[in-house]
Chains A and B, each alone.
Chain A
Amino acid sequence: MNKEVPYWNPYLETLPRESLEKLQVKKFKRIVKWAYDNSKFHKALYDGAGLSPEDIRSMEDVNRVPKVEKSMMRPIQRKDPFPYGDALCVPLDEVTEFRQTSGTTGNPIYQPDTWRDWEWWSECWSTLLWAQGYRPHDRVFIPFGYNIFVAFWAGHYACEKIGCETVPGGVLDTKARILKIEELKPTAMMATPTYVLGMADTARDKMGIDPAGLGIKRITCAGEPGALVPATKKRMEESWKAKVFDHAGATEIGAWGFECEAQPGALHINEAMFLTQVEDLETGQLVTESGRRGKLVITALDRIGQPCVRFDSKDIVEFSDRQCECGRTYRLVKGGVIGRADDITKVKGVLLAPSAIEDVVRSIRGFSDEYEVVVEKKGDVDHISLKVELTEEAASNAAELKAKLQTELRLKTNLGYEIQIHPYGSLPRYEVKARRFKDLRKKEG
């Protein structure tokens, strides 16, 4: 095999835009018809909107298909065919994979996949890993306790599909994982940004091992947006002396976006497998131009067990018109997933994305990787407190660093913060789905 081929799928990844859009419409019509014919949930939804699958003829018709929100899935599940209920499109005995969402915003959603769906999941991951330079000669370590959630399972299968030697680092603690990396000398790794930084801290501070000397050349991140937050990416790349890549996906959707080796500061959308639309956060109108943020509505074009058609992902993204130097024709979203519609909130009338705070905290040398933001009401006024840690070496410069942080946060977010400095190591450490942003006003209201 010619290992220098830069694309996993040289045909689809370089399709001219016009052909790509025609293929998307063809696939969209097919998945809408499949869902209508095989799922009581989708049939009722489309009938209720007066829509027949035959009404979909062009890209302009896509918007006529009703959106699906996570909250619509909860009431139909935990019923027959148990536990998936009316959105299941295949006989139960064709389901080979069970996964569920993390349940951060309510009851978890169950996700059934057929073996074909699972092949598709690992195909999407193969596309992204190949784009990030993974090749059959790589040895990939996955320091993650994979379980009932989808995280890194498909990454594992994709590594196998590519031909990489795949080392599952599941139920090991952080020190044991670092020792295993030291022993086996893997060339690549996958983890959440939080954990990539946490592992580096543990190696340096508790084991006297410099992670930069462990030989990891590339790291693929998932689960959180940090790998495209410039300061977080820089910290990870410097700590490990490795290239760090982002990817985006979700249990109900699939792995829809990936950063390529050119690292354009953006994610490619895998448009041969997914159809994406962006909606204005306030009006719900479609955003087609670049440079305007909105909410991602997405269709997995080939997933059949429990289809994902016009799913409201709540991810905030911004299209870019930039052509990536990698040569892929897939569209880019600038800065990846900027935040979640659930998290982006107005504070004192100003729209605040938690990732902006992260970028500032991690861009200042002297602060640790950990922080916590709490927004609450004090009287009638919104109040933001930001808990940070100083590294041990920076402890003597506390006042100066605190003032610098205050100034840079003001510049970046137009808001003032009560900054609380905590002892190094006292804020919570996370392996997955860090919850560093707490908006207590919702509970108070």
Chain B
Amino acid sequence: MDRQIIRELSLNVDQLHKLTEDLCQKSEDFPAVNRNAKRILAATELLRLNLEES
């Protein structure tokens, strides 16, 4: 598969991950946002694994 595509997707995942981390940090007293954001973080970590390069 084209490495360029993998890198572009990885960049998007990194942005999503960072955005979700921010969301988590800002929502410690807001469980409905915080816990859902933590689930998204787990999913973005899986996205990273799915695109990981050697």
Contact = CB atoms under 8 A, between A and B. Distances in A.
B19 interface: no
Interface string A102-120: 0000000000001110111
B50 A116 contact: no
A23 B53 contact: yes
Interface string B26-54: 00000000000011011101100111111
Interface of B: 1, 6, 38-39, 41-43, 45-46, 49-54
Contact of A11 (B38, B46, B50): B50
Interface string A264-301: 00000000010000000000000000000000000000
A432 interface: no
A19 interface: yes
A14 B38 CA distance: 31
Contacts of B50: 9, 11-12, 123
Contacts of B53: 19, 23
Interface residues of A, number: 21
Smallest CB-CB A-B distances: 4 pairs:
A22-B54, A23-B54, A116-B42, A11-B1
Contacts of B54: 19-20, 22-23, 25-26
Given A9-B50, A25-B54, 8 more contacts: A10-B1, A11-B1, A14-B1, A23-B52, A114-B42, A119-B43, A119-B46, A123-B50
Contacts of A118: 42
A20 B1 CA distance: 13
8 contacts: A11-B6, A22-B54, A26-B54, A116-B41, A116-B45, A119-B45, A123-B49, A302-B49
A100 to B, nearest CB: 22
Interface of A: 9-12, 14, 19-20, 22-23, 25-27, 114-116, 118-120, 123, 273, 302
Which of A9, A23, A115 lies at the interface centre, i.e. has the most chain B CB atoms within 10 A of its CB?
A115
A11 B6 CA distance: 8
Contacts of A123: 46, 49-50
Interface of A is mostly: helix
Nearest to A27: B52
A5 to B, nearest CB: 11
A26 B52 CA distance: 10
Contacts of A302: 49
A125 to B, nearest CB: 13
Nearest to B2: A11
A70 B22 CA distance: 40
B15 to A, nearest CB: 19
B5 to A, nearest CB: 8
Given A10-B1, A14-B1, A115 B38 contact: yes
Contact of A115 (B6, B42, B49): B42
A116 B46 contact: yes
B1 to A, nearest CB: 4
Contact of B46 (A19, A23, A26, A120): A120
Nearest to A13: B1
Contacts of B52: 23, 26-27
Contacts of A27: 52
A11 B1 CA distance: 5
Nearest to B45: A116
A272 to B, nearest CB: 8
